Amino acid sequence: MKGKVYLVGAGPGDPELLTVKAFKALKRADVVLHDELISPEILALVPKTAQLRSVGKRGGRKNIRQEEINALLVQFALLGMQVVRLKGGDPMIFGRAGEEIEVLRRAGIEVEVVPGVTAALGAAASAQIPLTHREISSAVLVVTGHSSEDGPDNWPGHLSPETTVVVYMPGYSYEKTAHRLMAAGLKESTPCALISHATTSEKQVYRTTLAALPQVPRLPAPALLVAGEVVRFADHHSLDQQFGWVAEASSNEAPLHFLAPTGSQEQSE
């Protein structure tokens, strides 16, 4: 008998944000093919009897091609195994789930998608940034800072000031990102926040403006960028208390800039 493949969203990192369905899928898995940045706490939930294999890609370095991942999914399922393809966040948002579903359908293998808390929601919640606000933001745009060479450019040419922009996988080309957003119509004073390791004990948040974005420190992956007026609603007190950020300056027009304490070192992948 053929097995079954579950495309499971692991959420943004906190194991308590796993859905009950995701937890059950992990517990009955024969093999788990997981992304590079799945937290150790979530991987610890996989039964000792299951095969656990990293098939992740990180920082543009591809240890395994997508075609190889597709082949493994088909191979294990044809052996009658219950296969979990464990992805960070939600599998249907920048997770290449569409490609894997297509391959599995062609092979006649049953596939089920188990949604997860996507990074944008987890990161915004951890920094207490409302992605929409009745008075200032009625739309959310999700884009990726990393795209395939032959894929479409999903960045719009024009943005309304009422739009909240969430950039997944922003990388470290902060100057380029800021330029693209300002060229699309956002003001230099638009507040933005870089959020790293959202929902975990390693969470870091750096709040600034688009104009100052090129000067911010490199925060470790996984990270994303939230840009828009809603960032003004971030929990400033929480940032001070939890991460030791200190207020550099403030005004009525610009948000506070939070800097790492003196003597700390920049972090990178």
Active-site positions read: 35, 57
Which DSSP helix (H) or strand (E) runs through 74? helix 66-78
CB-based contacts of 215, cutoff 8 Å, min separation 6? 208
Closest Cα to residue 212, out of 241, 239, 178, 183? 178
How many degrees, rounded to 5, is the angle at CA 109 between CA 108 and CA 112?
135
How many degrees, rounded to 5, is the angle at CA 267 between CA 91 and CA 235?
70
Q: How far apart are CA 247 and CA 250, in angstroms?
A: 8
On whether the CB atoms of residues 42 and 29 are closer than 8 A, the answer is no
CB-based contacts of 242, cutoff 8 Å, min separation 6? 203
Question: CA neighbours within 13 Å on the CB side: how many for 201?
Answer: 4
Per the DSSP assignment, residues forming a β-bridge with 58 are: 61
Q: How far apart are CA 267 and CA 230, in angstroms?
A: 26
On whether the CB atoms of residues 229 and 136 are closer than 8 A, the answer is yes
